[in-house]
Structure 1
């Protein structure tokens, strides 16, 4: 009996590891911009999410937002709202929608759509003045979105 339980548990873990990401074009937003379903099928890692939020080469959220939990990162922005208490203000589904495509929740927002690949102008092919020759990936992949959401959900008042 214990052998079968162990096999079932391993199968479950293997199934989670092989979960396929939701493609940017397939993300289902509700009427208010929330995304109920995990984009990666894997729980987010809040520590990695904090690194992404504060990294100027990844999410760079601190360029526009102040994040008290990341006070050691200098020159935080004031364009967007402070993210302190984000986990109290929004559900994980709402946070996932905002990070994926904030314009679904806040029309006219200046915030980048981190999980979108169509419907706007993206950088061209170096300095040639021509469009990129291949489709460009989203600014963040599905797991990065989930990690950022996990971190934002920890920011309580």
Structure 2
């Protein structure tokens, strides 16, 4: 993929630095980067999401999930079992190598929980917009006739 220069946008926008940095990082890393372990991102509701990662061979103790500064990080490090040294592996098709996968989270997205079921790690996320940021209706009052309306306008202007 070709490189896109966001410099002109930096000069004419305020507060979008994080978005441009995210686009820059996705432009280089994800396209040519590591694809292990495979994952899905699903929308399970209007404001609910689920990330499902195929982590066959990893147990709960081998996985670490952290959220920090709008980034979700999932790490897996396989610890060697005591009985594994005795068996000679002729072919290894199940990748049990260590990994770290990062996901950028939008504002107000929170991790609600994680489950490991049949080799799949499910991470549930929800977007909760604070009450102050939700749309609200403003009541429109009818204008009063005559001098009463002018008096109200003068009072509001003085305040």
Same fold per superposition (TM over 0.5): no
In the superposition, the TM-score normalised over structure 2's length comes to 0.24
Indicate the structure (1 or 2) with the bigger Cα radius of gyration.
2
In the superposition, the TM-score normalised over structure 1's length comes to 0.24
**Higher fraction of helix:** 1
Higher relative contact order (CA 8 A, sep 6+): 1
